[in-house]
Structure 1
Amino acid sequence: MTHAVNFEQRKQALAEDLTVQLSSAADEKTKQWFDNYLKGAIEYRGVKTPIATQLVISWQRENDLSQYSTEEQLALCKALVQSRFAEDKFAGIIYLQKFLRKTLSWPQLVSFSADLFELGYFFDWSTTDWFCVRVLDPTIIQHGLAAAEAIAEWRSAQNLWQKRASIVSFRRATQDTQYHSLIEQVIKELVVDDQRFIQTGIGWVLADMSKPYPQEAETLFRKYLSQLSREVIDRHTKHLDAHQELKRLKRSPQLTPSTSLSN
């Protein structure tokens, strides 16, 4: 009990130490750039990613954080990710990526990640996608279909950002055909949702698939054309020879939700 109380106090002090360093490293020009790019979706201090990464690495080393249990280090990550500032969230993600991801079992990691979403700690596309690319995507690649299927189950989540993560986490997995059937299952269930950040998540992953597997990606774009947004077709089919045709078909007055273009 005494150890738990002492760690809770130490956790707060450690997290505050890093956030103070992040705040000191901020500059107004960087803040303005992020604020303009994200259009106020999340508050930025104004710290560039390489600087934030180096601060996290130094913080881990100087405080000998490896002395703490895995559960305590995860609690540190959570303390950072729950901040309203993007860079604090990034710091927690960087720590998880660099010092914990490879040592955790995939069920531990997926469960911890689900908690972060369910607690509302991710509430914009930028930090959600950062988390997917740096933590969840590599977890799928490392652990295979079992981890992939667990993350894919989030397609039925109530939380918008967890739902987006169920598809965005498959970016690199698009390069491996063993995941293509699962990716289509996720798309099939998500595409009925016209929410922009669900649609663009699908588009991003199909765009990645279109580079190594253009025919497979084109087939999926055609199959779900009536349900995909015009923004997705315009922006995410650019690597396909059929780009202009798909744009034209999407604008066709004959295209309805029941139209089949899979042949």
Structure 2
Amino acid sequence: MIYEKKEETNSKYIFGVALLACVLIVELFYLYADFSKEFWGIKFVDVANIIAQFATAGAFYLGFHQYHRNKKVERQVVIVSECKNLILKMVAVSKEFNVGQETSFSNIKYCCTKLGNLGSDFDVLFTAVDEGIQKAIVRMHWQEMYFNELLHVMQGLELGPALSATGDNRSYYLLALEAARKKAKDEHVWEAFRKYHTSKTILTDYISAGLLAFKFDFADVYMFFLFFFESKHTNDYMYGSMSRLDARARAPMIAAIKDAYNIDIEKFTPNK
């Protein structure tokens, strides 16, 4: 399955192999060692009792092992189920974004904060899921949410309506837009990054001129970028996919907000 990582060699089998080797060594020792006559005077019932004790201990160990294995399976089922629930919540929040002419900064801040909190919870649970078919299915659901819902919404966010909602002068915006497009063309910006570059240029202009009263703080977008675009987290979610998650192409409007407000995500990204 493309979403499933290859299992590494499991160390739990080493104990069984070592035990089998010990049994073989004891049998060889028994067959070829030169014991004294007193040794063979041991009663058969004593030998049977020793074997029975080993069998009892072995049965207890197997029962104990099976109990813990069942508890572990139950725990994994609960964690996987909650991972799926969080993904459904992410889908619901993605649909709360106002796009097109309804785009607004306050709505972007609200939804990014909610998605960031959900992403944090999901990452904790996803890390606790053992590698296998269940984790592969969780990856599949996360990628479906990401490509079919979240990224579709990200492409629908528009800067013009968001600025208008803050009381922007329409004529100033049109002049800034024309200048930003010309700059992108002169600098030969790739088409995939054109919307990001234009939005960032306009936002930077507005902020420098003191024309934008609305403010984004570090906490407003940090968690969102960390758990939806930072490779240290998303690489595992994206296993089995060839896509690269560059926010400048995937979420140009929010990436422009992050850079225009000089919010440095990488500086505070924890090691994983």
Q: TM-score, normalised by structure 2?
A: 0.27
Q: TM-score, normalised by structure 1?
A: 0.28
Q: Which has the higher contact order (CA 8 A, sep 6+)?
A: 2
Structure of greater Rg: 2
